[in-house]
Structure 1
Amino acid sequence: MTNPRALIFWGGWEGHEPEACAAIVSDMLREEGFEVTSVPGAEALRTEPLDEFDLIVPMVTQVADDKDDIERLRKAVAGGVGLGGFHGGMGDAFRGSPDYQFMVGGQWVAHPGDIIDYHVDVTRPDHFITAGIEGFDYRSEQYFMHVDPGNEVLATTTFSGEHAPETAGTVMPVVWTRSFGEGRVFYSALGHQAHELTHPSAREILRRGLVWAARKDKT
């Protein structure tokens, strides 16, 4: 059996520290036995052989979308390539592409209060990604997102309404999985900047989620 291959493409808004995050995730995946290709820019969607990878990790907040590039990505995932990522690098990558958002299962809308303390509730303790992980406190942007009700939600957060009264009591998905064609999709809203990837629960969820999403039928 050959080692699984992962493609990370990073860039966009520097506030999310895409290069530093890409380096951390690259090391994480290499520890799991992946051969990792990490490249700057969404141009990778047209220059890399997408269907030859087992996992694709977008890390490109608010970059310009090219319809043909998005279609190449959608075709690769529908054909069995895994898609996994976190926070705005995946959940706010191609803001102008509903086709991309449909595949991911959600799109960032707001983070009332910016960096705040909030709680993450694990709702699927029986899932590989969240097994043995209990609810935990977290300090970051609490993402309010538009999400597909068909997602398999593994963790949520509840908005207090302190920073946006209209959100009081809203239970928002934080971690989910879904299928897109033959491909597995994993998303976590956690991980605003590189230092957050050291949070034990958030890091473990990300690690397991990326491993879970990777194509399983390639030998």
Structure 2
Amino acid sequence: MTRVLYLYGGWPGHKPYQVAEEWALPIFKNLGFDVDETNDIFALDADLTGYDLIALNWNNALLSEGLTPAQESNLLRAVENGTGIAAWHGAAAAFRTSLKYHWLIGGSFLEHPAGEGVKYSYQVTVTDTGHPITAGVHDFRVASEQYYMSVDPNNHVLAETAFTGEHLPWLDGKTIPQAWTRTWDRAASSTARSDTTSTTSRTRTSPACAPRVSPGPPVRTPDPTVRTELIGSTPCLSSPEARSSRGPCATTGSTSSPASPATASGH
């Protein structure tokens, strides 16, 4: 059975407890995952390598908040040893002082041009329809905070959004990734944002993180690398091939008014 550590809580503005009750926990139950849920950030001080997946919906309110060096190191070590990471909503805005965390997920929140907390309607365009994560997903609109982010050039973009310039004229026509895959070390990872990110690890063969939007069991796709997945600003890191028996990563979601369950909302 897939073992999951689900850490959620922090700043209540992103409704982490409501998201857990109404979205994340029902998904985990439907997938048959064995979930350890906690609202204690110090859970990251433990050895995390025994988990197949770490799901993060921790929300920060201050720019001065971050992981301790030990917590950050534990996350990186887990990913490098085969643990997947799924994160959504404020993942790109959490742990602002933890540079390697943001390097790991491949993106960092900078601004929402339409305003904080504004459910702004915008288009999400799927740029790689052939990838297992986005297979069967079509372009859609979502009402949420449209993130402007700093993103890693190593990301493989799966979906993006364009700014209209309505709020910041100099961004007219500029695009920002909403979902991507990436590598960490030699393992693969992916992220989603409408919120998300990912990374890679060693050289063994492990299942790719391949969440699907359509109903039915998740799909596991063999891949010589390990991967993490994000949509928008949400990371789903799947790690080294060391654990070829592991199940797929969890998916992303939105707490605003998405037109598709494949989206996640931002900070």
TM-score (norm 2): 0.69
Q: 1:217 is matched with which residue?
A: 244
Q: Distance in 2 between matches of 1:66 and 1:9?
A: 16
Considering fraction of residues, name the structure with more helix: 1
Task: For residue 86 of structure 1, report the CA deviation from its aligned partner.
Answer: 1.4
Q: 1:6 is matched with which residue?
A: 4
Moved more, 171-180 or 104-113: 171-180
Q: Distance in 2 between matches of 1:203 and 1:109?
A: 28
| One-letter identity of the residue aligned with 2:122 | Y
Q: Distance in 2 between matches of 1:185 and 1:9?
A: 19
| One-letter identity of the residue aligned with 1:122 | V
| One-letter identity of the residue aligned with 1:103 | L
Q: 2:66 is matched with which residue?
A: 64
Task: For residue 65 of structure 1, report the CA deviation from its aligned partner.
Answer: 2.0
Q: Distance in 2 between matches of 1:15 and 1:42?
A: 17
Q: 1:27 is matched with which residue?
A: 26
- Find out whether 1:18 has 2:20 as its counterpart: no
| One-letter identity of the residue aligned with 2:38 | V
Classify 1:107/1:167 alpha carbon distance in 2 versus 1 (closer, same or farther; 3 Å).
same
Q: 2:75 is matched with which residue?
A: 73
Q: Distance in 2 between matches of 1:105 and 1:18?
A: 22
Q: Which runs of 5+ in 2 are unaligned?
A: 196-210, 220-228, 231-235, 247-267
Contact 1:87/1:188 (8 A) holds in 2: no
5 Å-filtered alignment, 1:165-204, equals 165-181=169-185, 184-190=188-194, 204=213
| One-letter identity of the residue aligned with 2:110 | V
Contact 1:51/1:81 (8 A) holds in 2: yes
Q: Identity percentage over the alignment? A: 34
How many pairs does the alignment contain?
203
Task: For residue 218 of structure 1, report the CA deviation from its aligned partner.
Answer: 3.9
Classify 1:186/1:7 alpha carbon distance in 2 versus 1 (closer, same or farther; 3 Å).
farther
Q: Distance in 2 between matches of 1:184 and 1:54?
A: 15
SS in 1 for 2:165: coil
Q: Which runs of 5+ in 1 are unaligned?
A: 192-201
Q: Distance in 2 between matches of 1:217 and 1:87?
A: 28
Contact 2:191/2:237 (8 A) holds in 1: no
SS in 2 for 1:29: helix
5 Å-filtered alignment, 1:96-135, equals 96-114=97-115, 115=118, 116-135=120-139
TM-score (norm 1): 0.84
Q: Distance in 2 between matches of 1:182 and 1:27?
A: 33
